[in-house]
Amino acid sequence: MSLYKTQTMKSNKSIFSSLALAAIIGSCAGGSRMEISKGTQKPNIIYILADDLGYGDLSCYGQKRYRTPNIDRMAREGMLFTQHYAGCSVCAPSRSSLMTGQTTGHTPIRGNREVDPEGQWPLPDSTYTMAEMLKQAGYQTGCFGKWGLGYPGSEGDANMQGFDEFYGYNCQRMAHNYYPGHLWQNQQKVILEGNGGDKSGQYAPGLIQQHALDFMEKNKEKPFFLHYTNTIPHAELLLPEKNLKEFEGKFLPEKSYNGTQPEDKDFRKGGYGTQSQAHAAFAAMVTLLDKQVGELMDKLKELGLDKNTLVIFSSDNGPHLEGGADPDYFDSNGPLRGYKRDLYEGGIREPMIAWWPGKIQSGSKTDLVSAFWDVMPTVADLIGLKVPENTDGISFLPTLLNNKGQKEHDYLYWEFHEFGGRQAIRKDNWKLVRYHVSIPKKVTTELYDLSIDIGEQINVAAWHPEIIEKLVSLMKQARIPSEAFEFRN
């Protein structure tokens, strides 16, 4: 699709969305919404999304082999969620769920579908995203990191979905590499000369970090939404030597990974690089992620914005097993079963921390069952908008502000479109998991009671046929067909 046609479609969408926004604006008074008086700047919103960070990869969630002091400080000064879920167990559908406030039974992008030569299947022009909602409410919007929801120039491109500024990887396959040949700044392809050939002169996470900090500086006088989609610790396990050095030899026995070489066709085009010290590299990368989070928090205080900014930290799915990663060594999924691509708890239950000095109680913790699709309604609630009607989420603002009236989900639903198709549903403490759903003869049905079996070790399906029948029925109600993403044999 041409950029001209895309821009025309987006113009039509802007007209529609403006009318839609006017229809959903509500009063700031009452309920759990913040009281925003005249002359008071609306709260800034920073949403930090790590990539493939497991439930147990932060020291405030139990990690013992290394420390994450800056994120731990967020938890000490804010609220830690123990039962928060990603939108899916892989990147694109999880991020689509976050942006649209919809489960993978409804959100437009339900899988990691590639588009040649670069990018993923695009969000449709008709999609109404959290970024568009905030942009129309007067926010400056910026996305820095990885996008993965529409190839460059498509209707799903970040600039076409509500972001004033974008810098980073458009394509999640290209984001496999930390020394890429190029990044994107809005619609401009930025060639990284320092990474030409086999050179490793420009580390993408460092470049992205600086653009995020610059965005905050530039917009300090205006309300802003910073969507910081950090690519760490997604494979590959590479980072500057200065960051790796302090961890060398401390995580024995080491693990090595033989990756792509400069002569290989997928070198820095998605193939993972070689790492002889995979354990040290992983610990160093999570430590670097923690340092970057600390820099963002310090920048807020430097600009005097910390008292008027809600910061949320989470991860897009569970820990991966790629590029030399060793989640069992680090106990990356904590007490949970499963990894990235699984719909067991380890693939979808994520760390989440919310921080807002003076608004969120320091050192608080909640076991509220929440998910990515709740973030958009929470943000709408925060700034005094009625929740868009086509979302599946429930605002957790009452929990953040320690107010009464927190509504809870009847159930949560996920679907995954690789490996024969997978589905999961949670209702109360019952969790139903089905694998090979596109192959009737191979479909499996597992039922777990999370109140006594958080590790999903005891399949109690044989003892509760009536519960299975009810949950399978709910699964059918929880999704609508998708032409682009459907369970197929």
Closest by CA position to 382, among listed 132, 45, 74, 94? 45
Torsion angles phi and psi, residue 205, rounded to 5: -60, -30
Strands 44-50 and 224-229: parallel
The helix/strand/coil state of 125 is: coil
pLDDT in tens, 75-92: 999 999 999 999 999 999
Report yes or no on 9 lying in a domain: no
pLDDT in tens, 23-65: 444 333 334 555 554 446 899 999 999 999 999 999 999 999 9
Tell me, yes or no, whether 382 and 433 share the same domain: no
pLDDT at 15 over 80: no
User: What mean pLDDT do residues 104-131 have?
Assistant: 97
Q: Are 190 and 104 in contact (CB under 8 A)?
A: no
Tell me, yes or no, whether 114 and 192 share the same domain: yes
For the chain, the average pLDDT equals 93
Of 409, 428, 459, the residue that ends a domain is: 409
Report yes or no on 32 lying in a domain: no
Tell me, yes or no, whether 332 and 426 share the same domain: no
User: What mean pLDDT do residues 136-143 have?
Assistant: 97
| Predicted local confidence at residue 388, as pLDDT | 84
Report yes or no on 15 lying in a domain: no
Report yes or no on 21 lying in a domain: no
pLDDT in tens, 430-441: 999 999 999 999
Report yes or no on 470 lying in a domain: yes
How far apart are alpha carbons 395 and 416 in whole angstroms? 25
Report yes or no on 37 lying in a domain: no
Q: Are 175 and 146 in contact (CB under 8 A)?
A: yes
pLDDT at 4 over 90: no
| Predicted local confidence at residue 389, as pLDDT | 85
How far apart are alpha carbons 322 and 96 in whole angstroms? 23
Of 409, 436, 455, the residue that ends a domain is: 409
How far apart are alpha carbons 266 and 272 in whole angstroms? 9
CB burial of 354-380 (b: ≥16 within 10 Å; e: otherwise) equals bbbeebbeeebebebbbbbbbbbbbbb
pLDDT in tens, 436-460: 999 999 999 999 999 999 999 999 9
Tell me, yes or no, whether 325 and 394 share the same domain: yes
Tell me, yes or no, whether 396 and 448 share the same domain: no
Of 392, 409, 426, the residue that ends a domain is: 409
pLDDT in tens, 210-249: 999 999 999 999 999 999 999 999 999 999 999 999 999 9
Closest by CA position to 106, among listed 395, 353, 371? 371
Q: What is the CATH number of the domain that holds 469?
A: 3.30.1120.10
Closest by CA position to 425, among listed 475, 473, 470? 475
Q: What's the 3-state SS for 11-46? A: HHHHHHHHHHHHHHECCCCCCCCCCCCCCCCCCEEE
| Predicted local confidence at residue 32, as pLDDT | 53
Closest by CA position to 194, among listed 206, 211, 185? 206
| Predicted local confidence at residue 41, as pLDDT | 84
pLDDT at 2 over 70: no
Tell me, yes or no, whether 289 and 427 share the same domain: no
Report yes or no on 107 lying in a domain: yes
Tell me, yes or no, whether 46 and 97 share the same domain: yes
Tell me, yes or no, whether 442 and 351 share the same domain: no
Q: What is the CATH number of the domain that holds 164?
A: 3.40.720.10
Report yes or no on 48 lying in a domain: yes
Tell me, yes or no, whether 72 and 164 share the same domain: yes
Tell me, yes or no, whether 370 and 448 share the same domain: no
How far apart are alpha carbons 156 and 121 in whole angstroms? 8
CB burial of 316-348 (b: ≥16 within 10 Å; e: otherwise) equals bbbbbebbbbbbebbbbbbebbbbbbbbbbbbb
Closest by CA position to 110, among listed 89, 126, 129? 89
Residue 471, both tokens:
């949950």
pLDDT in tens, 280-336: 999 999 999 999 999 999 999 999 999 999 999 999 999 999 999 999 999 999 999
Could you list the residue range(s) of the whole structural domain that residue 436 is in? 415-477
Domains in the chain, number: 2
pLDDT band at 387 (very low <50, low <70, confident <90, very high): confident
Tell me, yes or no, whether 193 and 229 share the same domain: yes
What global pTM score does this model have? 0.93
pLDDT at 470 over 50: yes
Tell me, yes or no, whether 161 and 246 share the same domain: yes
Q: Are 168 and 184 in contact (CB under 8 A)?
A: yes
